Chain A
Amino acid sequence: MIKAILIFNNHGKPRLIRFYQYFAEDMQQQIIRETFHLVSKRDDNVCNFLEGGSLIGGSDYKLIYRHYATLYFVFCVDSSESELGILDLIQVFVETLDKCFENVCELDLIFHMDKVHYILQEVVMGGMVLETNMNEITTQVDVQNRMEKSEGGLSAAPARAVSAVKNMNLPEIPRNINIGDINIKVPSLSPF
């Protein structure tokens, strides 16, 4: 079971935190600080598995992390998960983010925290791996985002108006009614 998913930057500022086991608020922040402390000490060429933290889950858990540019993606798992599998899962998650945000960077995670949560919800549910197929995940996320947009709300009113007009089933209207020249040429009639 995945106990927690933490994303923080090189200075320890949290960018996304998701706990699948209940911890009080201050405990959560303590866990983030401790995890950052452990993970930031690691070199770049050592293995991606860490043991030795004490706050989550006691002795049966380890931290599996990946460092991408300015962000650390840390998954805290217990022994029922395959370590290499989780490492691949982190990769899948990051690639999915990349697809959804188009060349994702840290700012995207900062300003669209809720969207990242929704994407994560399609990958991991209740601490268990739900879906690993990137296309499937991105499709579902797109559909849900569109649903949300279509509902709109006050801030999306202009958008709604535009889409309403677009969806009106009007018959084909000629675009250019050029009534410039009212010279109606009378066709020559055949002599009868």
Chain B
Amino acid sequence: MSPSVPLQEMIRAIRSARTQCEERGVIQRECAAIRAQFRQSDNGGRSHNLAKLLYVHMLGYPAHFGQMECVRMIASPRYSEKRVGYLGAMMLLDEKQDASLLITNSIKNDLSHSNQYVQSLALCTLACMGSAEMCRDLAPEIDRLLRASNSYIKKKAALCAVHIVRKVHDLGEMFAPAARSLLSEKNHGVLHGAVVLITELCERNLETLEKFRKAVPDLVQIMKGLVISGYSPEHDVAGISDPFLQVRILRLLRILGHNNEAASDAMNDLLAQVATNTDSTKTVGNAVLYETVLTVLDIKSESGLRVLAVNILGRFLLNNDRNIRYIAMISLQKIVGTDHNAVQRHRGTIVDCLKDQDASVKRRALDLSLALVSASNIRSMMKELLIFLSSCPLELRSQAASGIFIAAERYAPSQRWHIDTILHVLTTAGGDVRDETVPNLIQLITNASELHCYTVHKLYRALLTDISQQSLVQVACWCIGEYGDLLLRGECQETEPVQVSEDDVLDALETVLQSHMSSPATRGFALTATMKLSTRITDNVDRIRSIVSIYGSCIDVELQQRAVEYNALFKKYDHMRLSALLLCLFFPQVCDLLDLLGGSEETLQPSPAAGGTAPGLPANTASTAGGDLLDLLGGLEPAPLTPAPTVQVYEKDGVTLTMSCEKQSATGLTVTLTASNSTESDISSLTLQAAVPKVCNEDTLVTDKLTAPVNLKMRVRISYSSQGSAFQDTIQIDAFPGLSAAGH
């Protein structure tokens, strides 16, 4: 009779429950019975109760009250109870629970038990949930077991040692000699464990890695034995002798041969042999081949071998089996940085995989395609990527959109193409793009001054078609606000001009304002655009005035504030309206001040050279900088008397602004702006606002070197009132003195 009959009866009872509620009832009753049993002292059925509890735990019900029972069972002398106890410990305990400390002693005793199966239980549990203290305590025991026991225990001890090394890194040295000697074992299980242990040791410690390089000939020998030797039925899987061990050894060889000529030479012949002789018609053969290819590409192999390896990958890519295609793309992704040209040859196949119906294959193909975009193939690749974007699964959309943006920015053949691409993405996947797309696009448009007319026409048309994509609508509103006069003029070279009247434009903006699809931010854009148009159009200023005053009582606070301010501009400061609205700043009010993120930046958006740069900017050589920048928002920073070099960045109407930079730390930079007044009258309510462009440091798929110089630019708005009138000006600072050219 099997000892788990009571467990089966309970399972039957649970399964016969027809509803979730009934099941819960059954389980609650059972748990109560189990709890009662636990409280009693020793009875014969203890292991059954714990087994029942583990089943209930698997279904998701609480089982914490079984933890102490596990501890008791482990200490029992009976094998059946120990077995369930250890299983319970692995499922219910972890190093955070106090009860786990209590089993340390039991494990210690069981490790020297006479019965090897009890030893193996202890090893298994230690490898699963051993805490750092337990590992430290028991490491000498494990070392002893590694040297002197039978192969069943040795292989378990080897994996246990791996766990110990992962938890307590210093103990790695203790296991190195034992691991080395294990390589001469014949048992494949032990060899496998030994190779895993050596791999772990080498990955953690460079010196150990150096020492184990001497073992390369032994490993090569073992591999040769596996590859060449005759049919060995016990290890054979579909004609290949122990493919799991082969894969492990190949991986270890990769680590040992990486960046080392001598070791790579020693394994060259072997790799060539495996690559040519392995049968690739079955999955196991492909697993070994794949690992071989990765190894060849990662060590200093000779060029013939590399070519062979990339060809094998190419063959994989054309395989009918989707699994093979998937892993081929993974490995191509790994080498696209180093062997870019080799991978480019397969671009066609990869782009075809974008159309595969399998979502995993699509994802890999997307990553790889984005990595393969280069200046020469940008147009064709972008076409494919845009087609992909329109039909891709939802979870890949935002990744695809940001990848496309980055690629477009890097390799755009012309500004018009760039703007077109971004607009296309916004119309297709506008909901999935990230927030900074809008200011980036605005920046881009501002830069492309000759395309303003074209852009505003295109955006106006897009606005008329669809106002649901928020990013697109925001950009369109902004554009119409800025360049509305170009739109109204009705002439355009690049595209067919649309004949609009002022009313039409205002209608469009009002539709956006009133539509329930527009988010508050979008409404803000639309209102500001409407306001800006008041200086660019001639006839309908009253209409604008009325719109603005209506929104003065809008429920949305942000919008209301804006409308009230604009209203004030109309009423009290009408003379200022022109200048205030002409000098529209780069950062629309919806965006927060952008921060420069620290340390290692890769690409930088060029900051726009829009109107408003102060005359007389010192033309410095391009300085490079990287580092945290504090945003200097509001208030006047007192200038410390530092020896840091200062430079004058602004001078007008008696107000001067000087700047000094000081490196506080390796990644910190303090910029101090000092304003001084040389007029006879007082200056009050002086505010300085500064902004720096955002630096992209995520989603760059093929990363440039981290030491790429970064151009730091800053735009500062200075506003003050003097003699009763308000003044405002913007300056752009391109060069920062006091920074090293190395960019750190």
In the complex, are the beta carbons of B79 and A126 less than 8 A apart? no
In the complex, are the beta carbons of B4 and A112 less than 8 A apart? yes
In the complex, are the beta carbons of B124 and A25 less than 8 A apart? no
Residues in B with CB closer than 8 Å to A18 are 91
In the complex, are the beta carbons of A140 and B3 less than 8 A apart? no
Q: A68-76, A146-154, A167-175, A179-187: which lies at the B interface? A: A146-154
Of A29, A125, A132, the contact of B127 (CB 8 Å cutoff): A125
Q: B5-13, B463-471, B566-574: which lies at the A interface? A: B5-13
In the complex, are the beta carbons of A49 and B326 less than 8 A apart? yes
In the complex, are the beta carbons of A48 and B323 less than 8 A apart? yes
Of B79, B84, B363, the contact of A114 (CB 8 Å cutoff): B84
- Pair count A-B, CB < 8 A: 180
In the complex, are the beta carbons of A128 and B196 less than 8 A apart? yes
In the complex, are the beta carbons of B83 and A132 less than 8 A apart? no
A50 to B127, CA, bound (A): 27
Of A16, A47, A121, A131, the contact of B326 (CB 8 Å cutoff): A47
User: Closest A-chain residue to B87, C-beta based?
Assistant: A117
Given A22-B95, A129-B244, residue A84 in contact with residue B188 (CB < 8 A): no
**Interface membership of A156, Cβ < 8 A:** yes
In the complex, are the beta carbons of A88 and B117 less than 8 A apart? no
A121 to B284, CA, bound (A): 23
Task: Determine how close the nearest CB of chain A comes to the CB of B360; give it in whole angstroms.
Answer: 5
Residues in B with CB closer than 8 Å to A49 are 323, 326-327, 360
In the complex, are the beta carbons of B323 and A126 less than 8 A apart? no
Interface string of B347-383 (1 = CB under 8 A from A): 0000000000111110100000000000000000000
In the complex, are the beta carbons of B128 and A113 less than 8 A apart? no
In the complex, are the beta carbons of A85 and B244 less than 8 A apart? yes
A88 to B248, CA, bound (A): 14
In the complex, are the beta carbons of A22 and B96 less than 8 A apart? yes
Of B152, B283, B323, the contact of A140 (CB 8 Å cutoff): B152
Task: Determine how close the nearest CB of chain B comes to the CB of A33; give it in whole angstroms.
Answer: 10
Given A14-B59, A151-B79, residue A88 in contact with residue B11 (CB < 8 A): no
In the complex, are the beta carbons of B44 and A155 less than 8 A apart? yes
In the complex, are the beta carbons of B251 and A82 less than 8 A apart? yes
A130 to B262, CA, bound (A): 31
Interface string of A93-116 (1 = CB under 8 A from B): 000000000000000001111110
In the complex, are the beta carbons of A20 and B247 less than 8 A apart? no
User: Closest A-chain residue to B282, C-beta based?
Assistant: A88
**Interface membership of B590, Cβ < 8 A:** no
User: Closest A-chain residue to B83, C-beta based?
Assistant: A148
Given A17-B58, A84-B287, A129-B244, residue A46 in contact with residue B360 (CB < 8 A): yes
A153 to B96, CA, bound (A): 34
In the complex, are the beta carbons of B44 and A147 less than 8 A apart? no
**Interface membership of A52, Cβ < 8 A:** yes
Chain B residues 224 to 269 lying within 8 A of chain A, measured CB to CB, are 234-235, 237, 242-244, 247, 251
Of A43, A47, A125, A132, the contact of B159 (CB 8 Å cutoff): A125
Chain B residues 172 to 198 lying within 8 A of chain A, measured CB to CB, are 188-189, 192-193, 196
Residues in B with CB closer than 8 Å to A158 are 1
Q: Which of B163, B196, B244 has most A Cβ within 10 Å?
A: B244
Residues in A with CB closer than 8 Å to B59 are 14
Of A50, A82, A135, A159, the contact of B290 (CB 8 Å cutoff): A82
**Interface membership of B618, Cβ < 8 A:** no
A14 to B60, CA, bound (A): 9
- Chain B interface size band reads 35 or more
In the complex, are the beta carbons of A47 and B11 less than 8 A apart? no
Residues in A with CB closer than 8 Å to B235 are 133
Residues in A with CB closer than 8 Å to B117 are 143-144, 147
In the complex, are the beta carbons of B60 and A47 less than 8 A apart? no
Residues in B with CB closer than 8 Å to A151 are 78-80
**Interface membership of B672, Cβ < 8 A:** no
**Interface membership of A83, Cβ < 8 A:** yes
Of B15, B291, B326, the contact of A82 (CB 8 Å cutoff): B291
In the complex, are the beta carbons of B3 and A14 less than 8 A apart? no
Residues in A with CB closer than 8 Å to B129 are 22
In the complex, are the beta carbons of A113 and B3 less than 8 A apart? no
Task: Determine how close the nearest CB of chain A comes to the CB of B619; give it in whole angstroms.
Answer: 45
In the complex, are the beta carbons of A126 and B163 less than 8 A apart? yes
**Interface membership of B325, Cβ < 8 A:** yes
Task: Determine how close the nearest CB of chain A comes to the CB of B134; give it in whole angstroms.
Answer: 13
In the complex, are the beta carbons of B58 and A113 less than 8 A apart? yes
Q: Do most interface residues of chain B lie in helix, strand or loop, or is the interface mixed?
A: helix
Of A87, A126, A131, A144, the contact of B283 (CB 8 Å cutoff): A87
**Interface membership of B286, Cβ < 8 A:** yes
In the complex, are the beta carbons of A153 and B94 less than 8 A apart? no
**Interface membership of A136, Cβ < 8 A:** yes
Task: Determine how close the nearest CB of chain B comes to the CB of A113; give it in whole angstroms.
Answer: 6
**Interface membership of B634, Cβ < 8 A:** no
In the complex, are the beta carbons of B60 and A16 less than 8 A apart? no
A135 to B232, CA, bound (A): 13
Of A89, A143, A153, the contact of B244 (CB 8 Å cutoff): A89
In the complex, are the beta carbons of A125 and B156 less than 8 A apart? yes
In the complex, are the beta carbons of A110 and B251 less than 8 A apart? no
Q: B47-55, B607-615, B677-685: which lies at the A interface? A: B47-55
Residues in B with CB closer than 8 Å to A111 are 7-8, 11-12
In the complex, are the beta carbons of B79 and A128 less than 8 A apart? no
Residues in B with CB closer than 8 Å to A125 are 123-124, 127-128, 156, 159-160
Chain B residues 284 to 331 lying within 8 A of chain A, measured CB to CB, are 284, 286-287, 290-291, 321-323, 325-327, 330
In the complex, are the beta carbons of B1 and A156 less than 8 A apart? yes
Residues in B with CB closer than 8 Å to A147 are 79, 115, 117
User: Closest A-chain residue to B251, C-beta based?
Assistant: A82
In the complex, are the beta carbons of A159 and B1 less than 8 A apart? yes
In the complex, are the beta carbons of B3 and A153 less than 8 A apart? yes
Residues in A with CB closer than 8 Å to B84 are 114
In the complex, are the beta carbons of B247 and A155 less than 8 A apart? no
Chain B residues 648 to 696 lying within 8 A of chain A, measured CB to CB, are none
Task: Determine how close the nearest CB of chain A comes to the CB of B255; give it in whole angstroms.
Answer: 11
Residues in B with CB closer than 8 Å to A118 are 83, 87
Of A20, A84, A92, A155, the contact of B128 (CB 8 Å cutoff): A20
**Interface membership of B155, Cβ < 8 A:** yes
Of B1, B188, B323, the contact of A87 (CB 8 Å cutoff): B323
**Interface membership of B62, Cβ < 8 A:** yes
Residues in B with CB closer than 8 Å to A110 are 11, 15
In the complex, are the beta carbons of B363 and A132 less than 8 A apart? no
Of A29, A128, A133, the contact of B60 (CB 8 Å cutoff): A29
**Interface membership of A51, Cβ < 8 A:** yes
User: Closest A-chain residue to B115, C-beta based?
Assistant: A147
In the complex, are the beta carbons of A114 and B283 less than 8 A apart? no
A48 to B361, CA, bound (A): 10
Closest 4 CB pairs of A and B: A126-B127, A84-B287, A47-B322, A154-B44
**Which positions in B face A, CB cutoff 8 Å?**
1, 3-8, 11-12, 15, 44-45, 47, 51, 54-55, 57-60, 62-63, 78-80, 83-84, 87, 91, 94-96, 115, 117, 123-124, 127-129, 152, 155-156, 159-160, 162-163, 188-189, 192-193, 196, 234-235, 237, 242-244, 247, 251, 283-284, 286-287, 290-291, 321-323, 325-327, 330, 357-361, 363, 395
Q: List 13 A-B contacts (CB under 8 A).
A: A16-B58, A47-B325, A82-B247, A85-B243, A85-B287, A88-B244, A110-B15, A114-B4, A129-B192, A133-B234, A147-B79, A148-B79, A155-B5
New A-B pairs, 8, CB < 8 Å, besides A45-B322, A84-B287: A47-B323, A51-B360, A82-B247, A84-B286, A85-B247, A87-B283, A125-B159, A156-B3
